[in-house]
A and B are shown apart, each in its own frame.
Chain A
Amino acid sequence: MIVADSTQKLIEAVEKADSAEGLLDAVEALSAARDEAAIPTLIEVLRFNNPGAAVAAVEGLIDLQEVAVPHLLQQIDDYNYGARAWAIRALAGIGDPAALDILLKAASTDFSLSVRRAAARGLGNIRWLLLDSQKAFLAQSEVLDTLLLVCQDGEWVVRYAAVVGLESLANTFADSRFDLMDKILQQCQEMLQGDPELVVRARIKMALEQL
């Protein structure tokens, strides 16, 4: 890949940063360049255990949209769950159906609650128009089934994310999937009565007000 000099300098600045604050500034600058050549470096930053820089890198990756997806899928970190959570968050923000399989698996099976949380939210954010309608139809049912399962997660924040996922999924349907809408509303009503956490019930209430 040919890397523009200006981007190369920004990449070097990230590599050379010697303080948390310096790293944050360098990552913000690299993200703002919106250059495909920055992608591997931005993904590397997700491993640094610097939450400020990771937020900036995720935003940069989301801004780059689909071109970042193959890199993210390839470089997903099986060992470092912090890095994996940030990568899933980037995929969730982009909404490319190419990430569907990994999001479905992460939301229901990852051992890290941050990963499950990010994935559950991402499942509501898939851009269905990028799939042909028949594939989308099948995938939507699968996404709904997974989100309904994730609504039983032991961690409140994952259930919260599943509710947000269900709400955005419902919004992407417009008027096309009454069958799935029924299931979503039913699930919300059940959790509004039964979820032990006030914050989850409050989020459901807000979802129901606008669904």
Chain B
Amino acid sequence: MEELDPHIEGNGNSLTVEEAIANLQQKEDLGQRYYAAWWLGRFRVNSPEAIEALLEALEDEEDRAPDGGYPLRRNAARALGKLGERRAVPPLMRCLQFPDFYVREAAAQALEMLGDKSCIPALRCLLAGGVAAATQVPGKPHLVQPYEAVIEALGTLGAKGAIEEIEPFLEHSFPKVQYAAARAMYQLTGNGVYGEILVRALGGEELHLRRSALIDLGAIGYLPAAEAIAETLAENSLKLISLKGLLESSLEGNCNETLTLLPESKNILKLMDSLL
């Protein structure tokens, strides 16, 4: 599994903000536009000019993949998710109806990160037809909709009204969709039954699914999973990220001035020490 080392990305730091925005706005070099969209998100450039350029890129018609997809739109959506600008919410909601699956997926993930509840109805639309409609697209590795991203977003956004739509996805044939449903159900109900589904997934046969469960448990900060996370057969880097999520959840409501560590927080820190 690749690490997120910025150095691997080559000379990413050598662009200036102005250059990146200019690269995104020119129309000749598609590679540079694509890279600039990523770069603005990666380095959290949320100036009005950057936002404007990314919103424009979200409507781009030039950059087309061999499969008919829209690579630049995907990158622009991902970047907008990282920049915390509410102005991006309506355009991203429109992206949820776009024909390119990966644009819809990137938009759902971006809307999750932006945290604006006004997109909940638009996200729920993508669950129409329930599990029966959630079939694989012939010849593609993915389903008809980006169910994982949509369900995870609904969980993070606290869409309690969607509980009945999400629950059946616990039985979907794709394990990652099941995990997304368990994660969202835990966030929406606080019921440990759903956390335990993810704990069991840590003992699964396939490494990529164990990794997925680690990320989900970190995201929901399910404290009873701490030991199981530390013992999972996966990279320490990922287990540390997962435990960081638990630690943060164990300290919720604790302000920095009076940082007090309860035994459960200390237990998580000791597990993290053992993984360094």
* Interface residues contributed by chain B, number (CB under 8 Å): 26
Shortest beta-carbon distance from B42 to chain A in Å: 13
Q: Are A112 and B5 in contact (CB under 8 A)?
A: yes
Shortest beta-carbon distance from B219 to chain A in Å: 15
* Interface residues contributed by chain A, number (CB under 8 Å): 31
Q: Are B247 and A199 in contact (CB under 8 A)?
A: yes
Secondary structure class of chain B's binding surface, majority of residues: helix
Shortest beta-carbon distance from B256 to chain A in Å: 7
Q: What chain B residues lie within 8 Å of A120 (beta carbons)?
A: 276
Q: Are A206 and B235 in contact (CB under 8 A)?
A: no
Q: Are B233 and A206 in contact (CB under 8 A)?
A: no
Q: Are A51 and B3 in contact (CB under 8 A)?
A: no
In the complex, B207 has a CB within 8 A of chain A:
yes
In the complex, A61 has a CB within 8 A of chain B:
no
Shortest beta-carbon distance from A193 to chain B in Å: 8
Q: Are B251 and A202 in contact (CB under 8 A)?
A: yes
Beyond A20-B207, A111-B5, A202-B251, whether A52 also contacts B233 by CB under 8 A is yes
Q: Are B236 and A51 in contact (CB under 8 A)?
A: yes
Q: What chain B residues lie within 8 Å of A89 (beta carbons)?
A: 276
In the complex, B244 has a CB within 8 A of chain A:
yes
Q: What chain A residues lie within 8 Å of B272 (beta carbons)?
A: 160, 199, 203
A81 nearest in chain B by CB position: B3
Q: Are B5 and A113 in contact (CB under 8 A)?
A: yes
Interface residues of A (CB under 8 A from B): 20, 24, 51-52, 55, 81, 89, 92, 111-114, 117-118, 120-121, 154, 156-157, 160-161, 164, 192, 198-199, 201-203, 205-206, 209
Interface residues of B (CB under 8 A from A): 3, 5-8, 207, 233-237, 240-241, 244, 247-248, 251, 256, 259, 261, 265-266, 269, 272-273, 276
